[in-house]
């Protein structure tokens, strides 16, 4: 490859460099979204549903009301515990029940105190829309702390967690825990079947207490949870507490939103996201290094061969 013109050499160098850069960029672009993007779409659909069903300014707990502290410490706080306990796969290992229950409760206590402690002590009004949005943030934090980091973070950060790359590059990806967990979470079963398999008490004087749940089915779980909050609101408006806890005493059953179904929420496709991320990892860790080394070798050869 001797006697190449300077212009042609520059063209070859630019072409090889561009190809190497495109390969690296493709790997990054395929790796970045991960399962986190699918989760984000789902979270946004939950927020949209909450804003529609519990609009800001409508269901506001009266900070000066007789049952204010009770409503916050029992009814509202129990929603946080119900959120984490209902999202747990109690059927996988019964020993998880007591082992993790204390950890979950500590997490709830710390979160609730940090967010609502001063609000309660100052007897400030509390909008259920704000509570719902905080529950969504709590849900994400809880998932990252106790479940899978990958569901609430970009793929480019998640792939470096222990064992993830090995799973993604495994020829048996479909049999890996990573894939099976994603498949389970995206699966949607009959809502009546799911609801029947959530063992709980409430809403009532003790709030909502979840004893066990099918947990993993993401959409089914959120449908159950949002509809349960509707029942919670209904209870808070009844004479069971002596009077409504809300500032607007005219609120009645007719003001409650309709129950939601799986159709109201985004259906995440975690398995497709896993395959996309696996392709990205393949480009970054296998294809890109091979092309980069080959490209660099080719440029060195062209340079040396045409040095004179």
CA 169, CA 1: separation in Å to the nearest integer?
38
Helix (H, G, I), strand (E, B) or coil at 210: strand
94 and 138 share one domain: yes
Look at residue 75 and tell me whether its pLDDT is greater than 80. Answer: yes
- 172 shares a domain with 65: yes
Question: Does 293 lie in the same domain as 228?
Answer: no
User: Are 227 and 110 contained in the same domain?
Assistant: yes
176 is a domain residue = yes
> What distance separates the 2 farthest-apart alpha carbons in the chain?
97
**Around Cβ 136, how many Cβ atoms within 10 Å?**
16
What domain range is 2 assigned to?
1-31+278-308
- Contact between 186 and 271 (Cβ < 8 Å): yes
Q: Are 220 and 214 in contact (CB under 8 A)?
A: yes
Residue 273 in any domain: the answer is no
Q: What is the pLDDT of residue 282?
A: 85
d(CA 108, CA 105) in angstroms, rounded, equals 5
- Do 203 and 292 belong together in one domain? no
CB neighbour list of residue 254: distance below 8 Å, 6 or more residues apart: none
Comparing CA positions, the residue from 82, 59, 51 lying closest to residue 260 is 51
What mean pLDDT, rounded, does the chain reach? 85
Same domain? For 18 and 84 the reply is: no
How many domains, the chain? Answer: 2
Residues 176 and 287 in one domain: no
Kindly state whether residue 67 falls inside one of the protein's structural domains.
Answer: yes
Q: Please, are residues 75 and 145 in contact by the beta-carbon 8 Å criterion?
A: no
Whether 41 and 128 share a structural domain = yes
Does pLDDT of 237 surpass 70? yes
Contacts 24+ apart (CB under 8 A), 101-104: 103/146, 104/142, 104/146
Q: Which of 298, 284, 292, 300 is nearest to 19 (CA)?
A: 292
Tell me if 184 sits within 8 A of 217, measured CB to CB: yes
Residues 6 or more apart in contact with residue 33 via CB below 8 angstroms: 154, 155, 273, 276, 277
Judge if 40 and 26 occupy the same domain: no
Q: Are residues 119 and 163 in the same domain?
A: yes
73 and 129 inside one domain: yes
Residue 44 lies in a domain: yes
Nearest to 210 by CA among 74, 111, 87, 106: 87
CA dihedral 119, 121, 122, 128 (to 10 degrees): 30
Q: Measuring CA to CA, which residue among 295, 75, 86 is closest to residue 207?
A: 75
Q: What is the pLDDT of residues 180-222, one digit of tens each?
A: 889 999 999 999 999 999 888 878 767 888 888 888 899 999 9
Residues 85 and 209 in one domain: yes
Summarize pLDDT for 249-267 with one digit per residue, the tens: 888 888 888 999 999 999 9
User: Which of 52-56, 91-95, 185-189 is the least confident region?
Assistant: 91-95
Q: How many CB atoms lie within 10 A of CB 12?
A: 17
Q: Is 34 left (phi over 0), alpha (psi -120 to 50) or beta?
A: left
Q: How confident is the model at residue 91 (pLDDT cuts 50, 70, 90)?
A: low
Instruction: Examine residue 23 and state whether it is found in any structural domain, yes or no.
Output: yes
pLDDT tens across 146-188, in order? Answer: 877 777 777 788 888 888 888 888 888 888 888 988 999 999 9
The residue among 57, 201, 79 whose CA lies nearest residue 129 is 57
pTM recorded for the entire structure: 0.86
């Amino acid at each position: 490859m001797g006697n190449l013109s300077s212009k042609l050499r520059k063209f070859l160098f630019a072409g090889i460099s561009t190809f190497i850069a495109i390969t690296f960029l493709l790997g990054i672009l395929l790796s970045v979204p991960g399962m986190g993007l699918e989760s984000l779409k789902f979270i946004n659909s939950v927020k949209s549903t909450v804003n529609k069903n519990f609009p800001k300014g409508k269901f506001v707990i009266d900070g000066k009301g007789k049952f204010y502290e009770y409503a916050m410490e029992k009814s509202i706080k129990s929603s946080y515990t119900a959120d984490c306990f209902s999202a747990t796969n109690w059927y996988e290992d019964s020993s998880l029940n007591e082992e993790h229950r204390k950890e979950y409760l500590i997490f709830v206590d710390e979160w609730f105190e940090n967010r609502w402690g001063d609000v309660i002590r100052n007897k400030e009004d509390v909008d259920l829309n704000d509570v719902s949005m905080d529950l969504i943030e709590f849900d994400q934090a809880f998932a990252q702390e106790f479940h899978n980091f990958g569901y609430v973070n970009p793929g480019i950060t998640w792939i470096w967690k222990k064992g993830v790359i090995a799973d993604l590059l495994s020829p048996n990806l479909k049999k890996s825990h990573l894939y099976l967990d994603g498949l389970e979470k995206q699966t949607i079963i009959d809502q009546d079947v799911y609801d029947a398999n959530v063992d709980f008490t409430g809403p009532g004087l003790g709030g909502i207490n979840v004893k066990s749940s099918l947990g993993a089915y993401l959409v089914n779980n959120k449908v159950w949870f949002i509809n349960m909050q509707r029942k919670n609101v209904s209870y808070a408006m009844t004479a069971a507490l002596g009077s409504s806890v809300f500032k607007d005493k005219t609120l009645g059953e007719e003001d409650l939103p309709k129950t939601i179904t799986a159709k109201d929420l985004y259906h995440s496709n975690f398995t497709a996201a896993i395959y996309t991320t696996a392709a990205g990892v393949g480009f970054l860790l296998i294809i890109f290094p091979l092309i980069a080394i080959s490209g660099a070798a080719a440029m060195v050869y062209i340079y040396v061969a045409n040095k004179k």
